[in-house]
Copies of this chain bind each other. A is one copy, B any other.
Amino acid sequence: MTASAPTGPLPKYHQLADHCRGAIQAGSLLPGQRMPSLRALMAQHMVSLTTAMQACRLLESEGWLEARPRSGYFVRQPSVGLLAPVNDPPMQRAPDAAQYVGIHAKVSQFLSLGRLQRFKTNLSVARCAPELYPAEALQQAALRSLRHHPDQLVRAAPPQGCLEFREVLAQRALGAGMRLSAGDIQVTNGCTEALNLALRAVANTGDTIAVESPAFYGLLQTLESLGLKALEIPTSPRTGISVDAVELALRTTPGIKAVVVVPYLQNPTGSIMPNAHKQALLRLCQQQDVALIEDDTYSALVDDAVLREEPLRAIKSWDDSGHVLYCASLHKHLAPGLRLGWISGGRWKARVEMLKFAASRGNERLAQMAAASFIGSAAYDRHLRRLRTTLVTQRAQTAQAVSRYFPEGTRLTVPRGGLSLWVELPQGLSATTLFHAALAEKLVIAPGTIFTNSSRFDSNLRVNCGWPFTPEIDHAFARLGQLVGTLAKTG
């Protein structure tokens, strides 16, 4: 059983749509060109008329095609393909000095401004709309668990986590190539606690940790709260952290205790590390005897098209020396209302368990039991498949909106999965300025500056595509585009 590969084949029309989308992305079909007719598609791909029509409708809803009355489907213009991707960072620059993170004030200002007012549209969060999660199935699982174990609320739960839950997690981990037993797994309060435990297991106050740049702001806050220094490593929006830059950093900066990476759908860029990079990074950490903290919060949201090319592989799956501390979360793909994550601590397993016990004791039973029951069922695979398909559409719609409304010169990286887009404003315009201008109109975005302890990424923003693309959201992007246009003129 695998965690993320579909259990059955995709419907035909999805396969066809995947194929055509690929052709558009690869430039074989150019914007403005007419699509092959339905009849041609039927003949070429040996599918029914219904299948051909469904595929075209799907691509239309995603914004790749437009239907012109009596003329058939055309590749849409201006298309996502026309926005240049966000540039890779200069990989050869001398590394920053490792520094204590002083990001809390900055981030909390953005967070609290974003929370304070009743906003119209919040594009700053990193999760999906509640209706995209299996609320009812989880509710039923919780109700069942409460009825079957009526006294579970008054019985202390095991410190490592419930065995049933850890067994299901271990089984699912096989889907990313990891052979773990339930005993290798420590349940945590989300990936946030897992990351805290991993960092505390391998480093002490004052030590240096190598992180991606830009990085998940929560990680930077955690580093700050633990008194750790961050060394920001150039990270490509396509292929993730630069392994060469990590190597250079390990050679030139003494006392680096760990490297933290998000190999799949990095936050905020959405990059995916190629397997060769993952293996090279692991070898490097093994050679230098440095801990490798793998944050796997998002892999369940990787597009099926990617999975068909290459199945998921966690770095942990190649780890024969115990250098990898693997951290995961159910927050983004299963249930934002459950605080469930887990860690497999490798050679630091015992220390991780001790730290968890001393930090918060074991997690509550009910959430674990509800999650175990759902994750152990075929409904989990169905949910993930549906969610990923929905995200393909929403991501395309959102990318369309950005390319339609934002001024020329805007750059956009559309990740191959997940629920965020990474945008770069033209002319070095400041996304912090945009943040404040948008806030005045009750729109919230995540400015790039919260993802770094440096002054970089001020021209970037992360926008959410986890919500169904409503006219309201379309309007928000239109308004954002106007605001950027105004900045471009006045700035």
Contact = CB atoms under 8 A, between A and B. Distances in A.
Interface in A159-193: 188-190, 192-193
Interface string A275-319: 000000000000000000000000000000000000000000000
Contacts of A146: 139, 142-143, 146
B336 A363 contact: no
A361 B364 CA distance: 15
Given A193-B359, A196-B360, A359-B225, A153 B142 contact: yes
Given A196-B360, A354-B108, A358-B218, A154 B189 contact: no
Interface stretch (A16-24, A128-136, A434-442): A128-136
B155 A130 contact: yes
Interface in A325-382: 335-339, 354-355, 357-367, 370
Contact of A153 (B108, B188, B218, B337): B337
23 contacts: A134-B154, A138-B154, A142-B142, A142-B366, A143-B146, A146-B146, A152-B337, A154-B335, A154-B337, A156-B336, A157-B337, A190-B361, A205-B227, A221-B354, A221-B357, A222-B359, A224-B358, A225-B358, A339-B360, A339-B361, A359-B359, A364-B367, A366-B366
Q: Categorize the interface residue count of chain A.
A: 35 or more
Interface string A192-220: 11001000100011000000000000100
Given A221-B358, A360-B190, A366-B367, A135 B150 contact: yes
Contact of A138 (B108, B153, B200, B222): B153
Interface string A363-406: 11111001000000000000000000000000000000000000
Nearest to A104: B354
A151 interface: yes
Nearest to A371: B153
Contact of A192 (B360, B363, B367): B360
A108 B225 CA distance: 27
The winner among A133, A152, A224 for most chain B CB atoms within 10 A is A152
A127 interface: yes
A266 to B, nearest CB: 20
Interface of A: 104, 108, 127, 130-131, 133-136, 138-139, 142-143, 146, 150-157, 188-190, 192-193, 196, 200, 204-205, 218, 221-222, 224-225, 227, 335-339, 354-355, 357-367, 370
Number of copies of this protein chain within its complex? 2
A154 B135 contact: yes
Contacts of A142: 142, 146, 153, 366
Most buried by B among A188, A190, A221, A225: A225
A151 B135 contact: yes
A189 to B, nearest CB: 4
Contacts of A155: 130, 336-337
Contacts of A134: 154
A111 to B, nearest CB: 9
Contacts of A360: 188-190, 192-193, 196, 339, 360
A42 to B, nearest CB: 40
Nearest to A157: B337
Contacts of A365: 337
- Most chain B C-beta atoms within 10 Å of own C-beta, residue among A138, A142, A143, A364: A364
A331 to B, nearest CB: 8
Given A361-B192, A361-B339, A364-B364, A139 B150 contact: yes
